């Protein structure tokens, strides 16, 4: 099972540019209303007031994918996790503009939220363009490691989906190697088209758009929890 000391550490920056007044107001007023409770066990009733399917996005960046999925499935509860304040502000703006009442936000480490959910409670987990940590000595920091994956696997329902997107060739190879060692997920690709073409229900993220502009290939992985 996962070793908390290998998965509890959070890397990367927490804040970029200073917030404008309107952005600061979103953080002060909207965030407290839709923030994931800071401690204690979590479930759909505590988070949304009723029982409903749950999905989690790890590292939502500016929140466009989270908002797109939430708008497409109003009866599902979405937990978006992102430690980067400027990204959280982007997601809050999407929630406000789309009047989305099915999104909860955690400004911090996604694994801290996932571990507080019941086992076999999630319908989907998204990990889109995770930080690649390209140096071999930083490989342990990659989200695609067995510690975080054990936790994700425990919280997904049987038949639920884990989605990974990346444009980083090293991360792509690494992820395929790690997933190939696991017996609890089945890769959904039957032909190359299945992982080279973005599925219709997979909104484009900011990083993905940037990667395409730079001429990068993007890979879309869908794994089913056995």
Ligand X SMILES: C[S@@+](CC[C@H](N)C(=O)[O-])C[C@H]1O[C@@H](n2cnc3c(N)ncnc32)[C@H](O)[C@@H]1O
Residues that bind ligand X (CB under 6 A): 10, 12, 58-61, 81-84, 87, 109-111, 128-131, 205-208
Contact 30, 105 (CB under 8 A): no
Question: Closest CB to ligand X among 182 and 206?
Answer: 206
Least Å distance, CB 69 to ligand X, is 12
Residues 6+ positions from 26 with CB-CB distance below 8 Å: 89, 92, 93, 96
Least Å distance, CB 51 to ligand X, is 26
**Both structure tokens of 1:** 């099972």
Query: How many angstroms separate the CA atoms of 78 and 214, rounded?
Result: 30
Query: How many angstroms separate the CA atoms of 150 and 154, rounded?
Result: 6
Question: Closest CB to ligand X among 131 and 194?
Answer: 131
Residue nearest to ligand X (CB): 59
Question: Closest CB to ligand X among 26 and 152?
Answer: 152
Least Å distance, CB 61 to ligand X, is 3
Which member of 39, 119, 131, 184 is catalytic? Answer: 131
Contact 152, 121 (CB under 8 A): no
Q: What is the SS3 assignment for 116?
A: coil
The residue among 218, 220, 219, 149 whose CA lies nearest residue 185 is 149
Q: Respond yes or no: is residue 131 known to be catalytic.
A: yes
Least Å distance, CB 208 to ligand X, is 6
Question: Closest CB to ligand X among 77 and 87?
Answer: 87
Q: What are the catalytic residues?
A: 131
């Amino acid at each position: 099972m996962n070793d908390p000391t290998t998965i509890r550490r959070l890397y990367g920056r927490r804040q970029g540019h200073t917030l404008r007044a309107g952005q600061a107001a979103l953080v002060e007023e909207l965030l407290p209303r839709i923030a994931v409770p800071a401690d204690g066990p979590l479930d759909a009733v505590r988070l949304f007031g009723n029982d409903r399917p749950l999905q989690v996005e790890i590292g939502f960046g500016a929140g466009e994918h989270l908002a797109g999925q939430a708008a497409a499935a109003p009866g599902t509860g979405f937990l978006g996790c992102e430690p980067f304040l400027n990204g959280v502000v982007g997601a809050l703006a999407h929630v406000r503009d789309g009047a989305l009442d099915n999104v909860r936000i955690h400004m911090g480490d996604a694994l801290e939220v996932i571990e507080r959910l019941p086992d076999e409670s999630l319908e989907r987990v998204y990990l889109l363009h995770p930080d690649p940590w390209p140096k071999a000595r930083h490989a342990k920091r990659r989200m695609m490691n067995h510690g975080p994956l054990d936790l994700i696997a425990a919280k997904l329902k049987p038949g639920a989906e884990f989605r990974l997107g990346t444009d980083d060739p090293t991360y792509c190879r690494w992820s395929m190697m790690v997933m190939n060692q696991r017996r609890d997920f089945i890769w959904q690709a039957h032909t190359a088209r299945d992982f080279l073409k973005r599925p219709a229900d997979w909104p484009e993220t900011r990083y993905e758009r940037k990667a395409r502009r730079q001429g990068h290939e993007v890979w879309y992985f869908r794994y089913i929890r056995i």
